[in-house]
Amino acid sequence: MIDFRPLHGFIPPYILNRIIAHGSEHQRSSALGTLTHVRNLRHNPGPPHTPPAAAALPRPGKPGQPQRSVHDAQNTMELPGQPVRLEGQAATGDPAVDEAYDALGATYDFFWKVLGRDSIDNKGFALVGSVHYGQDYENAFWNGAQMVFGDGDGEIFQRFTRSLDVVAHELAHGVTESEAGLIYANQSGALNESMSDVFGVLVKQFVLEQTADQADWLIGADLLTDKINGDGLRSMSNPGTAYDDPLLGKDPQPAHMREFVITREDNGGVHINSGIPNRAFYLAATTLGGFAWEKAGRIWYETLCDRRLANDASFSDFARLTVEHARQRFGIREVQAVQNGWAQVGVDLTEEH
């Protein structure tokens, strides 16, 4: 069993800190509780995670069939909580339960049907999710064994199961840990976050049968309430434009290396600087056209699985390998699209780590 130790939360700490500084008493309380919890988990991870009992259920007879279990934490922080929907069971009528179940299945289907990958570890890893976690919990996270979803505060964030790309994003952290183990700090950490955004949008596009040109390229488009001036949490097509709100502030993501943010916060800006590789992927995918998962997605996935990708890889390290995989699998048109994507965001393909 792989030990997926790092804990990845979807809402970056800089957003939670902004709410703590500028929100109402209820909003501040919810954000502070969430931020404190995530920090405690990161600083005191405890023993390696083991899957909940549901993950030990007999696996399907053959690969290609997900094994899901959704649990109700009943507004506590005890995991996994009460089992409420297991693989093959009918919808429960609880939107959070049924959304989680469907999103886990959609993510599994994407990795299996598009990339031939049998779950997170490529060995049929059972997909476990817990909903109704905590009180007004403003995050969703992958804890190394399962997915966990808060209900949001209802004022800024809606329930986190609403957003398919958020579920896929978090599960993809497990894929990245399994394949490349990209260290969750600085440029390798931003690549880790970017890979999750890439898979998040690809799963959404796959389910909606959208081409690269038809897609909105937004992450978390279904999370913000109508009270917030924003389209989502991140924009891959135009980083830095996802939201501009009196409470949340302005989306801080850079779209080019000349705007790269040097900070100690957020593990060296992993959620901020991921905008740069995100835009490179968007540019390559839209240049190639058609379904983004067929070429650009395949190139990025094969790069992630390349054993030459160091766990402390820089943007340039990753970019050079994407060009090589574009050449190996496809041809000159794909190579040029990938090269141009990285060039337009200022990533130097000749720079040595």
Catalytic residues: 170, 271
From CA 236, how far away is CA 159, in angstroms rounded? 22
Handedness of CA 186, 319, 164, 87 (dihedral sign): negative
Spatial contact of 311 and 188, defined as CB atoms under 8 Å apart: yes
Closest Cα partner for 313 from 195, 190, 188, 194? 188
Closest Cα partner for 286 from 203, 209, 216? 216
| Partners of 245 in beta bridges | 249
Start-to-end CA distance of the chain, whole Å, equals: 31
Spatial contact of 106 and 116, defined as CB atoms under 8 Å apart: no
DSSP for residue 156: S
From CA 294, how far away is CA 106, in angstroms rounded? 17
Cα–Cα–Cα angle for 218, 277, 35, nearest 5°? 65
Amino acid type, 125: F
